[in-house]
Every structure is written in C-alpha cells, then in structure tokens.
Amino acid sequence: MKAILVAGARPNFMKVAPVLKELEARGVKTVLVHTGQHYDAAMSGAFFEDLGLRRPDVNLNVGSGSHAEQTARVMVAFEPVCARERAEWVVVVGDVNSTLACALVARKMGAGVAHVEAGLRSRDMRMPEEVNRICTDAVSDLLFTTEEAGNRNLRAEGVAEERIHFVGNTMVDTLLEHVEEARRKKLPMGLREKGYAVVTLHRPSNVDDEERLKGLLGALDAVAERMPVVFPAHPRTRAKLEEFGLARNGGKWFVVEPMGYLSFLGLVAHSRMVLTDSGGIQEETTMLQVPCLTLRENTERPVTCELGTNILVGTRPERLKSEALQVLDGGERESELPRYWAGRAAERIAEILGNANPIFC
Ligand code: UD1
C-alpha cells in the first residue's frame, strides 16, 4: 500500500508526524508532501527538526497569496504528484487551505481520501477554516475524529457511520512524545515557572482590524502589569502591529519571533496562563492543564471547554481583562482529559487505513 501525506502550514506538522511514523513502521510506502503554504524557517523548518520529521519528498513551494490564489496553486501543483505517485490513499490533516486543496485534487484523481481531525465545526462560516473543514469532510472517505463533538457533527450532517472513526488526537500523540524534553528546556528571558503569561494572536478577524487589535492589546496590558507577557508574533500579526503603531515592547511585554515546537511547548507548559485565538493551543493547554482564555466567539473544539482548562472569552476588552485577572487571582484546577487523548491516535489511524478500502472510489 502507498499513501501520500500532506502538510502545509505550521499546525499540520505535529499532526502528520506520528501518522507518518506509524505507517512507515507497518511497511506502508509513504510520500510526504509539503505544500509550502508556510515557508519561513520559524514557521516550517524548525518543526521538522524538533519533531524529527524527515525532509519532505516533494515541496510544492506555493507560498503566500489570497485564499483563491493559494488554494489554486496547491491544487495545480498537487495534481501531477497524485498522477505520478498513484497512491491508494491521500491523508490530509487539519483545516488549512492546503488541506482542502489536496483533498479536492485527490478525490477527483481517484485516490482514497482520509481526513485527520475531521468533524470539527465552529458554525462560523466567516472563518476560512470552517469552509475548509466542511468541504474537506464532504469529499473524504475516512473521517478520523478527535472528540465526540466531531462524531455528533458528522452524524447530524448525515454522514454514514462507516466513514466515521473516533481515534483521538494525533497532536496529542506528538505532545506526549515530546513534552518531557520540552519541559527541560531552559526558559528564555529569565522567566520563572508559573510566573508569566503567553499570548498568541493570528486570526485575521482579530489582527487585521485596527480597533479590535487595539482593544485586545489594551486588555492584555492589564496582565502585563501583573507579570511578564510573552508574545511570539505570527508574521501577519507583527506586520499589523507595526502598521497600526501598536507594537508592544519594554515593560513586561516580550514580543518575540515565532518559536519552534519544543521551545513553545516548554514555554506553555510552564506558564501561568495562555491567551490565544489559535485552535490547536486550546487542545495543548487542555493536555498541559494550563488555564487558557480563547479570544474568539466560538470554538470548534468544545471538549476543551467542557472538560479542559479552556474558557471562551470572546473579544470584548472588558470581559477579557476581567476573566484574565480572575484566572490570575484564582487557584489551579485539575481537569479531566478528553477520551482517547492518550497517545495512540496514529496507531488507530494506521490500523484502520491498512484494512480499509476507499468508499467513494
Ligand atoms: C494559516 C491557516 C490557519 C492557521 C495558521 C497557523 C488557512 C486559511 N489558514 O493561517 O488556519 O491557524 O496558518 O499559523 O490556511 N507568512 C510568512 N511566512 C510564512 C507563512 C506566512 O511571512 O512562512 C505571512 C505572509 O505574509 C502570509 C501571511 O503570513 O500572507 C498569512 O499566511 P497564510 O498561510 O496565508 O495564513 P495564516 O494566517 O498563517
């Protein structure tokens, strides 16, 4: 059997790494395709090193662009790869533009399509990722879900049971494999364990609007009055901070370059609190039992709020400030871990893939 595995952007690499390893261990021929959606060393190369992920067999080098440009470029570049490799399966992960682009191409080229992290829904169609999730799931034979909500969403959409496989979370597999090494890394900038907060912001809805970004940073200033705030800034965010004259530096603010996987995981693991608009970080903080405030109105990962440490605080500055100060004044709380978030998701995926026939081919 032969499988093409696709990764394109920063949050894909840790999801694909354990699946690649498991398939290879079972003697499956694998082709690792990097679409090049993310290309900076800090957004891509550093992750390959930290995760021990082998160099991609193919790099489509698509780079940045509008949604249409980027998605189209991936499709055009991926089609000949599919034609040449003639793999039985194409495995896509997550919800980025590369995920959808390759799923569409693979479907039409007659390969089986497997989607890792299927079924998540924010019900916010203004999010490009929500469009990517729905469309990728629609054309995938196998839907590997990470949490019960994913199963419920797919069933509610009328998806046949034989396509849905609740396997757990491959990002958690990667986290568990690397967390001890990450915890042992020395904290930067003289930070002390549990003595600082971590901020990440990159969603266009939060960072592209000057008033919104200004309000969020104003609220975060209240946290920076209490403890150091480390802000590894996505390239998009850094550009917007400069464009709007909102750059924070000095005092207790530390705006730094995007970090590699291990450094960031260690930073989060030892932090007092995380404030983010990322999807994956809601899951990582749940695993690490670190309080997480999510600066969004919705989440496609509800289990992180139901069981984990995640609180959806929206984007109103007053609410954000009061919730953040409440966390800082409150005690630590233990939370239960979601079902199957225990490090064997990739094993289940490889097992199922090895025995399945594509449903739509
Ligand atoms: C993408 C994903 C998002 C994910 C995020 C993680 C989509 C629709 N969005 O958003 O779901 O949460 O990745 O980071 O797929 N840039 C660089 N260097 C890079 C990559 C990007 O400077 O290596 C800059 C470029 O100016 C680019 C911008 O960042 O235009 C946005 O990159 P893009 O891949 O389009 O989207 P992200 O915002 O990173």
pLDDT at residue 112 tops 90: yes
Average pLDDT of the chain is 97
Angle between helices 345-355 and 170-184 (to 10 degrees): 150
Are the beta carbons of 89 and 361 closer than 8 angstroms? Answer: no
The DSSP letter of residue 338 is P
Q: What is the number of helices (H) and of strands (E) in the chain? A: 15, 13
Q: What is the pLDDT of residue 60?
A: 98
Are the beta carbons of 7 and 97 closer than 8 angstroms? Answer: no
Q: What is the pLDDT of residue 319?
A: 97
Q: What is the pLDDT of residue 83?
A: 98
153: left (phi over 0), alpha (psi -120 to 50) or beta: alpha
Q: Specify the pTM.
A: 0.97
The β-bridge partners of 30 are 3
Query: In the annotation, is 202 catalytic?
Result: yes
- State CA 200 to chain mean position distance: 13
The DSSP letter of residue 274 is E
Task: Give the residue from 89, 308, 320, 88 showing the smallest Cα distance to 199.
Answer: 320
Q: What's the pLDDT tens digit per position in 139-169? A: 999 999 999 999 999 999 999 999 999 999 9
Best substitution site from 59, 71, 97, 126 to test ligand 1's pocket, by max atoms within 8 Å of Cβ? 97
pLDDT at residue 332 tops 80: no
Are the beta carbons of 319 and 293 closer than 8 angstroms? Answer: no
Are the beta carbons of 349 and 140 closer than 8 angstroms? Answer: no
Asked if residue 129 has its Cβ within 6 Å of ligand 1, the reply is: yes
Q: What is the pLDDT of residue 234?
A: 96
pLDDT at residue 174 tops 80: yes
Residue 331's pLDDT band (boundaries 50, 70, 90)?
A: confident
In this structure, the residue with its CA closest to atom 31 of ligand 1 is 236
In this structure, the residue with its CA closest to atom 15 of ligand 1 is 96
Q: What is the pLDDT of residue 190?
A: 95
pLDDT at residue 59 tops 80: yes
Half-sphere exposure (Cβ direction) of 185: Cα atoms closer than 13 Å: 20
The β-bridge partners of 292 are 274, 310
pLDDT at residue 217 tops 90: yes
CA distance 165 to 19: 15
Residue 277's pLDDT band (boundaries 50, 70, 90)?
A: very high
Percent of the chain with pLDDT over 70: 100
Task: Give all strands of the β-sheet with 197-200 in edge-to-edge order.
Answer: 253-256, 229-232, 197-200, 273-276, 292-294, 310-312
Q: What is the pLDDT of residue 185?
A: 96
Asked if residue 203 has its Cβ within 6 Å of ligand 1, the reply is: no
Q: What is the pLDDT of residue 333?
A: 76
pLDDT at residue 250 tops 90: no
pLDDT at residue 334 tops 90: no
Percent of the chain with pLDDT over 90: 96
The DSSP letter of residue 44 is I
